[in-house]
Chain A
Amino acid sequence: MEVFLEQLINGLTIGSFYGLIALGYSMVYGILKLINFAHGDFFTLGSYVGYTVLVFGSAVITAHLGLWGGMIAAMLVAAICLAFVGVIVERAAYRPIYPAGRLPAVVSALGASIFLQNAIMVIWGPRYQAYPASLIPNVRIQLGDIHITLLQIVILVMSFLLMGILYWIIQKTTFGAAIRASALDKDTASLMGINFNKVIFFIFTLGPALGAITGVMVGMYYRQISFTMGWNYGLKAFTATILGGIGNLPGAMFGGLILGVLEMLGAAYISAAWKDVFVFLILILVLIFRPTGLFGEKMAEKV
């Protein structure tokens, strides 16, 4: 039982990473019908920016901010930087290609991904980078027989908070309504006075910013980052997006959490080496029986 609960919490932690990255995928997909392969690399870049903040700001962090303050600072700086990067990438690599259709945009996204990944490699070097251990909050908590760290709980709470805020923005604010309208039909939405470019601007600041925050969380949690990790997380997050039903934001969050939990439970009870096979098998099974994902709406065929 202890193993189960611990694995459940680990799974939720990882799942919240997937969920936060998946939100970025899902927003872009919902509006532009574009699989943004560069999103995983936004996440990596955010992680590296956070790393740089921690390394260069270590004196300030230890003297003034404290460890948690340092974490928040790293996240904020990473999020702001990546919001800029996201908008620049959108302007440079995607916007000129929208008129050409979906598939050229996918190739362009892959190109952007290669570019970002190699830019990270050129700037920070090809080796693994370790988050400075002295700057990571390290408080252990024991609940009964369950061992977890305070960091995990903070990560979980922050993730749920971020997801909640995003959900609130999308569902309750006027601007969120504009986004949902654009996702439904961008031409009609434009006719109703919605500034489509503003919507795109918004999703390409918020998505990468969320990715960057996740990147710092992953750096803190695993303490080790590499310039290629975006592929793996990106792939998982994309899986989570599809599992939940593409373009469906709560679906993406739940998809991520389910994926993380399945992965950890699969690793604990079946086999650690086969855990990814397990995840993809579940995905395939879900799609065989629910071809538009767990929470996806059944789309009527337009003829």
Chain B
Amino acid sequence: MEHTKTIGYDRFFGLKQSTLFIVSGVFFIYPFIVSNYYIDVAFFFGIYALLGLSLNIVLGEVGLFDLGHAGFYAIGAYTTAILNTKFGIPILVLLPVSALAAGFFAYIVCSPIIHLRGDYLCIVTIGIGEIVRIALINNPFDLTGGPNGVFGIDFPSLGSLFVIDSSIKYYFLIWIVVALSIFGLIRLQKSRIGRAWNCIREDEVAAGANGIDVRYYKLLAFVLGAALAGVAGNLYASKLMCVSPESFTFWESCLMFCIVLIGGMGSIPGVIIGAAFISLFPEIFRPFAMYRMLVFGTVMILMMMFRPGGVWPRKRGGLEFKSILARTGRKDG
């Protein structure tokens, strides 16, 4: 069945269906066999997976350096927090609203800067992230609650029938959202848009010369990435029941950047592994107390030494030339 390999759906990420069943089975059983604490750890793993996937659109698919992604995440979280506490709009209704708000914000701020290249784009996105954070601290129009943030956010609920109020329900909520996003992103990768993105990443000038609207597709990546980060922000806000500017620092953006690169640029299973590394590692090494971040830093360096292309680099589709691209790890950014 060689011909179904690239276009069929019996293989996701090159995984056999049986493997996929096992993985999803583990995910399903996991919350029933561990304590609430570890369910929450898995919830935050889910949040980081979602954030990694969202940055992966910008950084992995299109190769745009974005070190301010926490800003979009913050917009999503604060949209949810403010609309929910001030107007009592249900969290699940705000899920698409947060996505739209973050996407719209990305559209507004990225339109004028989308022509910048490489590190210049990088510093501007850092700047945007910082501006968002400082603005949140300074409490414009008395909306964001300053350094304390906004608290008293509701549980997500479907009417009064089904309220998501326990760790286990949150766990399923986040991982259902992650699963849906993964499905959507795989479809996107294989679509015309995904190919256009990858083409821009490989060579922007050639992409433009081949009739790809570079500006449009770059903006689209930013908007979609921001929207997904907004979704993550929504879930994060309702889980913690409060949001504060401390959760959206430059450091958070750096973590997302590391998730994508540790996993493998543009590789969806890689991003999940990267998110697992970033979110589970500090938990596993908790006994080391103050030394754990030392270990964390060292492991990051070692990973890049031994797997520079990421833990699970993106497999190229069958339509591309094998010769040049088969080598792992691209030579330039």
In the complex with contacts A110-B300, A291-B115, A35-B127 CB distance below 8 A: no
Residue of B nearest to A281 (CB): B131
Report yes or no: B116 in contact with A287, Cβ–Cβ below 8 A: yes
Q: Which of B134, B254, B258, B293 contacts A277 (CB 8 A)?
A: B134
How distant is A118 from chain B, measured CB to nearest CB, in Å?
Answer: 4
A288 at the interface (CB under 8 A from B): yes
Q: A108 at interface (Cβ–Cβ under 8 A)?
A: yes
- Chain A positions 65 through 109: 1 when the CB is less than 8 Å from some CB of chain B, otherwise 0: 000000000000000000000000000110011011111111110
Q: Do B120 and A107 have beta carbons less than 8 Å apart?
A: no
Give the residue of B206, B262, B296, B332 whose beta carbon is less than 8 angstroms from that of A102: B332
Inter-chain contact A107/B291, CB cutoff 8 Å: no
A107 touches B127 (CB 8 A): no
Residues on the B chain within 8 Å of A153, using CB: none
Tell me the nearest residue of chain A to B109, going by C-beta.
A284
- A242 near B: Cβ within 8 Å? yes
Asked if A168 is at the interface of the complex by the 8 Å CB criterion, the answer is no
The CA-CA distance from A214 to B300 in the complex, in Å, is: 28
Interface residues on A, range: 35 or more
Chain A residues 99 to 128 lying within 8 A of chain B, measured CB to CB, are 99-108, 110-119, 121-122
Q: Which residue of B lies closest to A93 (CB)?
A: B301
Chain B binding surface SS class: helix
Q: Is the CB of A102 within 8 A of B117?
A: no
Contact with A along B190-224 (1 / 0, CB 8 A): 00000000000000011000000000000000000
* CB within 8 Å of B: which A275-303 residues: 276-277, 280-281, 283-284, 287-288, 291-293, 301, 303
Q: Across the interface, do A96 and B116 meet the contact criterion of CB distance under 8 Å?
A: no
Interface centre among B124, B299, B303 (most CB of A within 10 A): B124
Closest chain B residue, CB of each to CB of A279: B127
User: In the bound complex, do residue B131 and residue A277 qualify as a contact, i.e. CB atoms below 8 Å apart?
Assistant: yes
Let me know if B145 is at the binding interface, CB within 8 A.
no
Provide the bound-state CA to CA distance between A242 and B265, in Å: 25
Cross-chain contact of A114 among B120, B131, B205, B297 (Cβ < 8 A): B297
Interface pair B297/A111, CB less than 8 Å apart: yes
Q: Which one of A35, A117, A283 contacts B119 once the chains associate, using CB atoms below 8 Å?
A: A35
For residue A119, which residue of chain B has the nearest CB? B294
Question: A122 with B291: in contact, given A104-B304, A115-B297 (CB under 8 Å)?
Answer: yes
Indicate whether B290 reaches chain A with its CB closer than 8 angstroms. Answer: yes
Residue ID in chain A nearest B329 by CB atoms: A100
Question: From residue B246, how far is it (CB to closest CB) to chain A in Å?
Answer: 12
Partner of B298, one of A111, A235, A288, A291: A111
Complex contacts, B122 vs chain A, CB 8 Å: 35
Complex Cα distance, B294 from A119, in Å, reads 7
Partner pick for B113 among A110, A242, A273, A284, CB 8 A cutoff? A284
Cross-chain contact A101 with B308 (CB below 8 angstroms) = yes
The answer to whether B120 touches A292 (Cβ under 8 A) is: yes
Pairwise interchain contact B297-A118, C-beta atoms closer than 8 A: yes
Contact of A103 among B124, B138, B261, B291 (CB under 8 A): B261
Does any Cβ of A come within 8 Å of B330's Cβ?
yes
CB-based contact B130/A276 at 8 Å: yes
> Which of A107, A274, A283 is close to B134, meaning CB atoms less than 8 Å apart?
A274
**Nearest Cβ on chain B to A132's Cβ, whole angstroms:** 26
Q: Are A235 and B116 in contact (CB under 8 A)?
A: no
A175 beta carbon closer than 8 Å to chain B = no
Is A231 in the interface zone, CB < 8 Å from B? yes
**Nearest-neighbor residue (CB-CB) of A95 within chain B:** B305
Question: Closest CB-CB distance, B238 to chain A, in whole Å?
Answer: 28
B300 in complex: contacting residue of A114, A242, A274, A276, CB < 8 Å: A114
Q: Does B3 sit at the interface, judged by CB under 8 A?
A: no
A248 near B: Cβ within 8 Å?
no
Is there an interface contact between B124 and A287, defined as CB atoms closer than 8 Å? yes
Whole-angstrom distance between the Cβ of B259 and the nearest chain A Cβ: 10
Interface residues of B in 27-44 (CB under 8 A from A): none
A238 interfacial by beta-carbon distance below 8 Å: yes
Which residues of B have CB within 8 Å of A99? 308
Using a CB–CB cutoff of 8 Å, the interface residues on chain A facing chain B are 29, 35, 37, 92-93, 96-97, 99-108, 110-119, 121-122, 231, 235, 238-239, 242, 246, 273-274, 276-277, 280-281, 283-284, 287-288, 291-293, 301, 303
B residues adjacent to A (C-beta < 8 A): 112-113, 115-117, 119-120, 122-124, 126-128, 130-131, 134-135, 137-138, 205-206, 250-251, 254, 257-258, 261-262, 265, 290-291, 293-294, 296-301, 303-305, 308-309, 329-333
Between A and B, 13 residue pairs with Cβ closer than 8 Å are: A37-B254, A96-B305, A100-B329, A104-B308, A106-B257, A108-B300, A112-B301, A114-B296, A114-B300, A115-B301, A122-B291, A246-B120, A276-B131
Q: Give the top 6 A-B pairs by smallest Cβ distance, nearest first.
A: A100-B308, A111-B300, A115-B297, A114-B297, A280-B127, A102-B333
